Amino acid sequence: LFGFYRLTSSFPSLCTEGYFILVLDYAGLLFVPVYGCILCGYSVRQSLLAWTGVIIKIPFSHVLPPVPDSFHNRTTDITPSYRSGRRHVLSPRDERTLVRKVQINPRTTAKDLVSSSIFTGTKISISTVKQVLYRHNLKGRPARKKPLLQNHHKKARLWFATAHGDKDCTFWRNILWSDETKIELFGHNDHRYVWRKKGEACKSKNTIPNVKHGGGSIMLWGCFAAGGTGALHKIGGIMRQENYVDILKQHLKTSVGKLTLGCKWVFQIDSDPKHTSKVVAKWLKDNKVKVLEWPSQSPDLNLIEHLLAELEKRVRARRPTNLTQLHQVCQEEWAKIHPTYCGKLVEGYPKRLTQVKHFKGNATKY
């Protein structure tokens, strides 16, 4: 009888640690240490059985199976063995060429890649191209629409982010953000989905009424700060620089008082020609309004763009039926926007500046 054991604290007088072979001989139980007795080509258990056979005078062949041929025929060659299944149509080099072509021009379609001349003599399908791109974590997604940024636009954006990047949230809480927006009565419904059965595409409940020019629209000017929303003014007709001055005369100081901005408040306006005209600049200077210098082509840096998008979303849920009702709903939903929502927008503004610096003046995710 023989076996394999690991001694623990139950046998403190025999050994502190290590593996032993238990052998039952005529002299009694024997604990034999097995340090360094592993045989090449066999597992630990098989090696211990072999050494046990040596102790009790039993040949290796009686306690062990034959040494596997794979051990004797082992080599240093790392070439993968034969595998079952169909081989890939494209070689690894072809896949790298395909991925590089897509990275150079992300707007290339899978159909264009199939018909291109990069795979001369190899017939591939669109699904093959997609599978290769999927394996390299490249998936088709809708491209985001961003303003066209020239080099001078990027430099101005990078300067703005660098100049104001070290300012804390206290500075941004004293900013009065402003901008204009156009809200259509029916809005854009290009990407609406419906649940329907086959053959029911033309039913009235499964179609979207198409109205020219969105069924009419209204132009609004609004402002807000960290403390909440300010005035929301409806612009009649085409807004000119004189109309913009009238809006500022009517709503600027009123909104500042409503939002309890401090004496160090700063007015934010974008680089629209109506906003930067001499007439507007003179009025702002005469009324001692400090204006935040703003880089052009930067709607992602203007917080009110996010707030106006939220307003349009809420108005769309109300479904107004005419322009008068549309204006009324806009005023109601603008007043319902909670100051906490505005405060969170302002608190996260430093992250936008950090992303502008990270992308070196290019467009951000906002």
CA distance 230 to 175: 12
In three-state secondary structure terms, 33 is: strand
DSSP state of 276: S
Least confident piece of the model among 76-90, 189-203, 269-283, 316-330: 76-90
Least confident piece of the model among 18-27, 44-53, 141-150, 331-340: 18-27
What tokens were used for 75?
């080599």
CA distance 150 to 210: 36
Report the share of the chain in percent with pLDDT over 90: 46
Rounded to the nearest 5 degrees, what angle is found at the Cα of 13, between the Cα atoms of 7 and 16?
Answer: 45
Mean pLDDT of 283-308: 94
pTM confidence score? 0.68
CA distance 210 to 193: 15
Which pLDDT belongs to residue 319? 87
CA distance 46 to 68: 13
151-358 carries CATH number 3.30.420.10:
yes
Which pLDDT belongs to residue 55? 60
- Average pLDDT over the chain reads 80
DSSP string, 96-144: HHHHHHHHH-TT--HHHHHHSGGGTT----HHHHHHHHHHTT----PPP
Q: With contact defined as beta carbons under 8 Å apart, do 362 and 154 qualify?
A: yes
Q: With contact defined as beta carbons under 8 Å apart, do 293 and 271 qualify?
A: no
Which pLDDT belongs to residue 286? 94
Pairing mode of beta strands 228-235, 266-268: unpaired
pLDDT digits (tens, 9 = 90+) for 135-157: 999 988 888 888 999 999 999 99
What tokens were used for 33?
């240490």
Task: List the domain boundaries for the chain.
Answer: 2-72, 92-135, 151-358
Which pLDDT belongs to residue 40? 47
Most trustworthy range by pLDDT among 35-49, 194-208, 347-361: 347-361
Q: Is 334 exposed, middle or buried (0-12, 13-18, 19+ CB in 10 A)?
A: buried
Strand ranges, E, within 273-312: 291-292
With cut-offs at 50, 70 and 90, classify the pLDDT of residue 350.
Answer: very high
Which pLDDT belongs to residue 297? 92
Q: With contact defined as beta carbons under 8 Å apart, do 305 and 290 qualify?
A: no
Count of C-beta atoms within a 10 Å radius of residue 183: 21
CB-side exposure of 173: number of CA atoms within 13 Å? 13
pLDDT digits (tens, 9 = 90+) for 59-107: 656 655 565 666 556 555 556 566 677 788 888 888 898 899 999 999 8
With cut-offs at 50, 70 and 90, classify the pLDDT of residue 114.
Answer: confident
Least confident piece of the model among 6-20, 185-199, 201-215: 6-20
